[in-house]
Amino acid sequence: MKTRRDLLCDRAMEYVLTRKVEDLGDLTVAKIAKALKVSRSYLARTFKSERDFSIKEYLFREKMLRSALLLMNKPQLTIRQISEMIGFLDANYFAHIFKKYFGISPGKYRDSKKV
């Protein structure tokens, strides 16, 4: 049986997963906590103790995964547009972080996934 703390983590993860990609750019741990009616610090502390990673790390990972999906599935979007959608105001910084995360630049990632 899941504990209240574990259920809170599940709800937080579900909240992130059900957001539209356009909403990810503005999504923060504080906004997640507010939506779940808990304090930011309680959510952060609980999430870290129940999972092997922080809520901030989880949110970042989801943003990176969604950006990769956009690169594959929405070739009409520029890298700048994708970076802004997920909350990066500087496309060059996004490209740097993307490369660090996936080991390949966003442009090369998109090219490698073309059929």
Domains by residue range for the chain, with CATH: 4-112 (1.10.10.60)
Q: What is the pLDDT of residue 115?
A: 56
Predicted local confidence at residue 58, as pLDDT: 96
What pLDDT shows up at residue 113? 76
Q: Are 30 and 40 in contact (CB under 8 A)?
A: yes
Alpha-carbon span 68 to 31, nearest angstrom: 24
pLDDT recorded at residue 1: 83
CA dihedral of residues 37, 64, 67, 105 (deg, nearest 10): 160
Output the CA–CA distances (angstroms, integers) from residue 15 to 31, 33, 34, 91, in the order listed.
10, 10, 11, 26
Give 10-residue mean pLDDT values along the chain (115 residues).
91 96 92 97 96 94 95 94 94 96 95 76
